[in-house]
Structure 1
Amino acid sequence: MKLYRYLTGPDDSSFCKRVSKALSAGWNLHGSPTLSHNPESGSMMCGQAVWKETEGTYSDDITLSDY
């Protein structure tokens, strides 16, 4: 099955570490990262789509971060 996740978080090292952890677990980047400004908090938010091919059949009960 092919799995898809969209990782999001603040534009800081913790976001980069989450993406690096996913890549180390066999996930692949899909497209370019996104960046958005939250005018209320003044912060920048990042997003990155990732995908992974794995054994099994998709079910709504799976936890993507377990893969």
Structure 2
Amino acid sequence: MKLYRFLSEVDTSAFCHKVTEALNKGWELHGSPTQTWDHAAGVMRCGQAVTKEVTGTYTADTKLGAH
């Protein structure tokens, strides 16, 4: 099955570390990264979709971060 996650974080090195960790766990980038201004928090946020092929059957209880 193919899993999908959308990683997001404030635009700091924390975002890069989050994406790097996912890549090192076998996730692959899916599409382009995105940025948006969070008016409520007053910060820029980044996002990146990632996907991963794994064995098994998807259910709504699948823990995406555990893969």
Tell me, yes or no, whether TM beats 0.5.
yes
Equivalent residue number for residue 61 of structure 2: 61
**Aligned partner of 1:26: which letter?**
G
Please list every run of at least 4 consecutive aligned residues from structure 1 whose deviation after the TM superposition is greater than 4 angstroms. none
The alpha-carbon deviation at position 24 of structure 1 amounts to: 0.2
1:5-52 CA-to-partner distances (Å, cap 9, x unmatched) read: 000110001111000000000000000000001234321000000000
Which runs of no fewer than 5 residues in structure 1 stay unpaired?
A: none
Q: Percent identity?
A: 52
Which runs of no fewer than 5 residues in structure 2 stay unpaired?
A: none
Matched pairs, number = 67
CA RMSD of aligned residues (A): 0.8
**Aligned partner of 1:46: which letter?**
C
Q: TM-score, normalised by structure 2?
A: 0.94
Q: TM-score, normalised by structure 1?
A: 0.94
In 2, Cα distance between equivalents of 1:18 and 1:42: 21
**Aligned partner of 1:58: which letter?**
Y
